[in-house]
Amino acid sequence: MLDRMGGRIDVTTPGKRGSGGITPAERDILHFVLEHQPVTARQVADHMAEVRGTARTTVLTHLERLRRRRVLERAAGEDGVNVYRAARPPAELLTGLVRDFVDRILGGTASPLVAYLTQRADLTDDEIAALEAVIARNEARAKTDDESKGGGETP
């Protein structure tokens, strides 16, 4: 994922446990922030204490890691208390996480992910349409690439 200056945002810097990505706790924090932003550290800590029993200091550590990775931004709120919000639009952040998952876990090939998605019985009509649109774009791009290389069909 690229930041505003064109540099890569690392949302999957391995933690001390060698997770190869954001930890489950960081994922939960990110989802909470995305759903409730802007939020204070106290709001995040209260939520995480309730759902996971996570200590406030641990939540603060996770928030700081996500901020350093430029996944979250911290700014002074209206009352002077720091608030956190996503550094990018949610769809862009989630796209980056999926891209890193495909690159790091699936070795750069999306085939296992596509196979999983096509086997799910609970895809909505909108999700199916989105997948079909991706396939159509890829087919059009491949056809254009073939034609530009002189490998297109001749009449």
Give residue-wise pLDDT tens across range 80-138. Answer: 899 999 999 988 888 888 888 888 888 888 888 888 887 877 888 898 888 889 889 98
31 plus 48 within the same structural domain: yes
Domain boundary among 86, 102, 127: 86
Q: What is the pTM of this model?
A: 0.63
Q: Is 72 helix (H, G, I), strand (E, B) or coil?
A: strand
In-domain check, residue 49: yes
30 plus 71 within the same structural domain: yes
Q: What are the pLDDT digits (tens) for 11-42?
A: 444 333 333 478 889 999 999 999 999 999 99
128 plus 81 within the same structural domain: no
82 plus 95 within the same structural domain: no
Q: What end-to-end distance do the CA atoms of the chain give, in Å?
A: 42
Strand stretches in 2-140, DSSP E:
39-40, 72-76, 82-86
What domain range is 101 assigned to? 90-148
Domain of residue 79, CATH code: 1.10.10.10
